[in-house]
Amino acid sequence: MKLAVVGVTGLVGGMMNKVLEEFQFPFDEYLPVASEKSVGKQIEFKGKEYRVLSMDEAISQKPDIAIFSAGGQTSLEWAPKFAEVGCFVIDNSSAWRMDPTKKLIVPEINANQITSDDKIIANPNCSTIQMVMALWPLHKAFQIKRLVISTYQSFTGTGVKAVKQYDSERRGVQQDKEEMAYHYPIFANCIPQCDVFVEHNYTKEEMKLVNETQKIMNDGGIKITATAVRVPVDGGHSESVNVEFSKPYSLEDVYTLLNSAPGITVLDDVNAHIYPMPLFAKDKNDVFVGRIRRDLSIENGLNLWIVADNLRKGAATNAVQIAQYLVAQNLV
């Protein structure tokens, strides 16, 4: 088993290594890969020192699995080259998610779609993953008709540049405009723009919630609208999700379904002030759900508050779970 981590020196790449070690993922050879400027550097993984390899060096060694977290353009160029040598690529960028020939996988929902022919497998967007984890068991039972979503997303979702911006602002250090990840300060601020604006004045992040949810749930009939906001939280995305079902439901059934769903932890006791928060979700792999209550304004309406560590289940954990599935099904 040859395992490559592409983009290993980035924020998510570092978390990939951490999760791989925690999950005791089985491998015989480990290939850390990064851009040309990082090639030759030494990184530590599981107590050993490794030299960072170039893309071509890694491909020449024909890895069995490559977990990519190196950006969309890099993935579009290099993922097919890894796939050509028989490697399964698990890609964390947006490059392949809406490609109709590629599977968009959350293991707890649709890992059984993966076949030996799926050499490039897409990891969904962080905000999508945590939401569909909570919604999937409810959709199967009551059929979701419409979703209204508001997200409160950590600056860590933007990457290293945003982390540096936040830290500089927190310390009162002046930055040049080109060093900033955002148009505005993120410290002590909320920015109602995640990613770039596209048609109808929605952002890319908002449309990912629409398109990816429909694809993962295999239901293009679900009506979805979203507003995504970047907040000064160091790790962890939160989402307020208003659901309208086609079928009537009981709150007891909702609790039962969520409590029995893999990867979900229900935290919901308002009398004791217990509800999910990013501070609590940080460094945990589960998705946390709380503030569960009926929407009194519409028939079959429900409100949920969904929180997860965006670098964990929203990225690294989900990707490693896909790799685990490949191994468990003897696809590699």
Give the whole-angstrom CA distance, residue 249 versus residue 259. 16
**Ramachandran area for residue 7 (φ above 0: left; ψ -120 to 50: alpha; else beta):** left
DSSP strands (E only) in the chain: 2-6, 29-33, 42-45, 48-51, 65-68, 88-91, 103-104, 120-122, 144-154, 223-231, 237-245, 264-266, 287-295, 301-308
Question: Is 87 part of the annotated catalytic residue set?
Answer: no
Q: Please identify which of the residues 87, 126, 139, 194 carries the catalytic annotation.
A: 126
Helix (H, G, I), strand (E, B), or coil: what is residue 307?
A: strand
Q: How many CB atoms within 10 Å of residue 148? A: 17
Q: What is the DSSP pairing of strand 144-154 with strand 237-245?
A: antiparallel
Q: What is the DSSP pairing of strand 223-231 with strand 65-68?
A: unpaired
* 236 close to 308: Cβ distance less than 8 angstroms: yes
Q: Which residues of 268-283 are buried (b: 16+ CB within 10 A; e: fewer)?
A: beeeeeebbbbebbbe
Question: Is 126 part of the annotated catalytic residue set?
Answer: yes
Q: What is the DSSP pairing of strand 287-295 with strand 301-308?
A: antiparallel
Q: How many CB atoms within 10 Å of residue 180? A: 17
Q: Please identify which of the residues 87, 139, 194, 237 carries the catalytic annotation.
A: 237
Helix (H, G, I), strand (E, B), or coil: what is residue 26?
A: coil
Give the whole-angstrom CA distance, residue 30 versus residue 1. 9
Q: How far is CA 227 from CA 66, 145, 203, 224, in A?
A: 33, 18, 8, 11
3-state secondary structure labels for all residues of 263-289: CEEECCEHHHCECCCHHHHCCCCCEEE
Provide the annotated active-site residues. 126, 237
